[in-house]
Every structure is written in structure tokens, then in C-alpha cells.
Amino acid sequence: MIITCPRCFSANDVLPPRKLPDHLLQYRCENEGAHGIHEWLTTVGAVKGPGEVREGVTDDLLTPLGTCVIQGEPFVEYGIVEHRLRKGFPALFAGHVAEQGHSMFGPRTYTASSVRFALALGRLERMGELVSKYGPATGAWRHNGQVTYWARPGTPAGQRLTWAEYCARLGRPPEWTDEDRRGLSAP
């Protein structure tokens, strides 16, 4: 099972968990380039439910997320990818948010963004369909400090489009809105 960091959306620097009392797990990400040391707690059940294989939970996200990163575009901030997923596949997006939650409903670890969507994007990267790099988090995502930016292989590394710039093009605020929350539910 792959666990991604809720700050940098990467699994590369996440250490195996330390088991604590009361079925708690303490994870630690040591991604110095993105955010330094970051630790978080979760329950065993949140990481793996009964009989659930975590990567299997993201199978339905692979093709839709793949369409959210467009050939010929610069590296796009994670929020753009998620926004496109929500607009293009609203029922799929809402289903994952209903099961796993989302930071637009308040601070929480292991949301659909930090676990399921990030895991699926990582799978697409390992399959050679996408590439990622770290960059500044903007707008509603700025609490992360840095986030991943996504592109198709061959995209020049110096080109990027932030969530805040994308929102300006759309004429919408870069923060969460009531429209963003409409039709979604937090678990």
C-alpha cells in the first residue's frame, strides 16, 4: 500500500508508520525540498478498511485524471487538475469526496485530494503518462506551501500555470467558494 504525504502529495519520502496506542499510526515525510519534515497521525482503519486494497480504490480515477492534464500545456498546479476532474466527472468526484472528505470543508488529513487523487496521479506518473515537479501552492491550496504540478512527458520544466492564474483566466476567485462546496458532502 502506498501512502502519500498530505502536504506534498508524494509517497517518495514517506517513512513507514510508527504504531501508537489506540490503533493510531504516525507517518513522517522527509521531503526537504518541498516542505521539510512533516508528521501526521491517522487510524489504521482510515489507511486500510476491511478487505480494501487502496490502489484498487483509485482504478476509476486513472482515465478521468489522465484527461485533466493536457498535451501542450505547461506544468499545471494540482488544483487545476482537480478542478478539471470535478467539472468533467462530477459524480465521480463527488463520490470520492463523500467517502474520503476534502480540505474545502476544513482541515483534515487523508482527504480525497491527498490520498485518492494523489495516488492515482502517482500511478499515472509511474506508468509514464504524466510527469510532476514541485512548485508554489496558490489560492485555496497555499496552506500546503508547495504542491505538485503535472504535465505530459516532454513539457519544458520551466513552464507552469498556477491555480491562482488559472482562476483569474476563468474569472473565479482562487479560494473555495459556496459553488465549489455545492453538491458535495463531507463524511
pLDDT for the residue numbered 170: 96
Q: What is the spatial distance between Cα 74 and Cα 76, in angstroms, rounded to a whole number?
A: 6
Inside any domain, residue 5:
no
Inside any domain, residue 175:
yes
% of the chain surpassing 90 pLDDT: 40
Number of residues in the chain: 187
Inside any domain, residue 22:
no
Q: What number is the average pLDDT over the span 43-62?
A: 61
Q: What's the grid cell of residue 19?
A: 504504531
pLDDT at 41 over 90: no
Q: What is the spatial distance between Cα 72 and Cα 132, in angstroms, rounded to a whole number?
A: 15
pLDDT at 56 over 70: no
The model carries a pTM of 0.72
How is residue 115 annotated by DSSP? Answer: I
Range of the domain at 147: 49-181
How is residue 100 annotated by DSSP? Answer: H
pLDDT for the residue numbered 44: 65
Inside any domain, residue 11:
no
Inside any domain, residue 26:
no
Inside any domain, residue 166:
yes
What residues pair up with 14 in beta bridges, in sequence order?
29
Inside any domain, residue 112:
yes
pLDDT at 140 over 50: yes
**How many domains does the chain divide into?**
1
Inside any domain, residue 44:
no
pLDDT for the residue numbered 25: 77
Question: 21: Cβ–Cβ under 8 A, 6 or more apart, which residues?
Answer: none
